[in-house]
Amino acid sequence: MVETSLDHKPAVVFVDDERWYSFLQLAAILQRAGLRTVRISVGPSMWRPENLLFSRNVFLAEPPSPEQLAEILANENVVDVQPTERLAKTSYSALDLLPQPQRSNIWAGRLAILDKQNNETLFREIGLRSPESLPVGTTPENEAVARLSLPIVLKRRIGSSGSGVKVFTSLEDLREYVAAIESPDEWLYEQFIQGRSFVYAACVSDEGIDVMATYKVLEREHLSGPSSVMEFQTDPHLVESGRILINALHIRGLICFDIIRDSNDVDWIHDVNPRVFGGLTTCQLAGFDFRGAYLRCLGVDVDVQSSPLDTPTTISFGFPEGGRELLRSAPYRVSWVRALRWIWSHWRLLGSRYFLAFVIDRPVTAWRHYFKRSEHQR
C-alpha cells in the first residue's frame, strides 16, 4: 500500500466526460472493498443517482489542465486512475505532479499507447497484425480509399468506447464527413476488417498476468460499443497474443484488447484499452477473479481465486446491456427466472447502493428530459 501522511483512504480516481457503466460498476466494487472513489466529470454540475457510488464528486464545465486536476487531487492518496481516453493524457500528467508519497505509479506506461496510429507500428514490430491506418490530416480521401479500399473506417486517434467511429462505403460520403471535421490531425483512416469480434482481458501486476479471460462478442449495444452477449472460451492463440502484447507494453492494472478474427482465422488487434472494460462484472461472475486481482494490484491484502485452466464454452450476458437479449434467449417463464438470477448475482457483486442508483436513475432522467422539453416549448 502507498505510504502517506494523509488521513484519506487510498483512492481510485475516475475522470470522464460522459457516463460509463464500467466506471460505475468498478466504483461500486471498490467502495464495498473499503477504498475511496473520486469522480471528476467534465459536464453540467448536477446531482445524479450515480453520485452515490463515489466518495467525492467534482464537476467541471471545461476539460481541466494537468495543473488544475492536480490541485483538485492535492489531498487525495491516489493509488490508480481510470480515465476515458480523451482525458487520459491530462489525468496521467496531473498525477505525475503530485508528491510521490501521495500517489502510486501504477499508470506508468499507459500514456504511450493512447494514440491508435502509433500502436499500429508497435503491434507490427512485435509480430502481431493490426489494420493499416493513415492520418486524415495529410491524406486525401481518394488516396485513403485507393490504399485501404471500401468500406473504410474513420476514427479518432485518441477515442473512447467507439465514440465517433464511422464506417463509410462510398468516397462521396467520406469526403462530405471529413470536410466538416474541425481538427483533421486528430483523426485517422483505418482498414476495415470483416470478421468476428474477440476480447482479451487481463489484470497485470508487477509479477505479471494475475487473471486473464478471452471471449467472443456475440452482440454489442451498438457499433464498437459495450458487449451485451459474450461467449467465454479457451483460445490458445488469443492467450499467446495477449501475453506477447502485455510483455511488450510494460503496463499494470486492468487492460483489454479488441480483436477481429477474419475469415482466414487471422487475428487483427485494433484497440488497446488500459482501463476497466465493460465486461468486468460478466468475467467476474464467470469465474475470473478480476475484483481480487485488481484490489491486490492496488495493495489490498486479499486472496485471488485461481482462474479456470480450461474455460468451458459458455454464453453470458453483460449487465445492464444484455438484459433484452437475456429475456429473448429462452421461453418467457424460463427467461424471467434466468433474468432474476442474473440480477441477483450482480446485486451480490455490486451491492445495494449500485442498484439503488440504477433504479432511481430512470425517473430522474425522464423528469429532466420532460423539464427541458417544457422549457424549450415556452
Residue 161: the pLDDT is: 60
Separation between Cα atoms, residue 131 and residue 352, nearest integer Å: 43
Q: Does domain 132-191 have CATH number 2.40.50.140?
A: no
Alpha helices in the chain (DSSP H): 21-32, 66-72, 85-96, 116-125, 141-148, 171-179, 236-249, 280-285, 290-297, 323-328, 332-350, 352-377
What residues contact residue 353 under an 8 Å CB cut-off, 6+ apart? 28, 31, 52, 53
The full set of domain ranges for the chain reads 1-107+332-366, 132-191, 196-329
Q: What is the pLDDT of residue 3?
A: 42
pTM for this prediction: 0.89
- CA dist 204 and 208 (Å) reads 5
3-state DSSP assignment of residue 84: coil
Q: How far is CA 102 from CA 4, 91, 105, 162, 222, in A?
A: 6, 15, 10, 34, 40
Q: Nine-digit cell at 163?
A: 465514440
Cell of 253: 492494472
* Cα gap 327→341, rounded to integer Å: 12
Beta strands 267-273; 253-261: pairing state: antiparallel
pLDDT of the chain, 378 residues: tens digit per residue: 444 445 578 999 999 988 888 999 999 999 999 999 999 999 888 788 889 999 999 999 999 999 999 999 999 999 999 999 889 999 999 999 999 889 999 999 898 888 888 888 888 889 999 999 999 999 999 999 999 999 999 998 887 666 678 899 999 999 999 999 988 898 999 999 999 999 999 999 988 899 999 999 998 876 656 788 999 988 899 999 999 999 998 899 999 999 999 999 999 998 888 999 989 999 999 999 999 999 999 999 898 887 776 667 788 998 888 888 888 887 877 888 888 999 999 999 999 999 988 888 766 554 544 444 555 455
Question: Are 163 and 186 spatial neighbours (Cβ–Cβ below 8 Å)?
Answer: no
Extract the C-alpha cell encoding 66: 494537468
CATH architecture type of domain 196-329? 2-Layer Sandwich (3.30)
pLDDT given at position 46: 79
pLDDT at position 373: 52
Give the CATH fold of the 1-107+332-366 domain.
Rossmann fold (3.40.50)
What pLDDT is recorded for position 133? 92
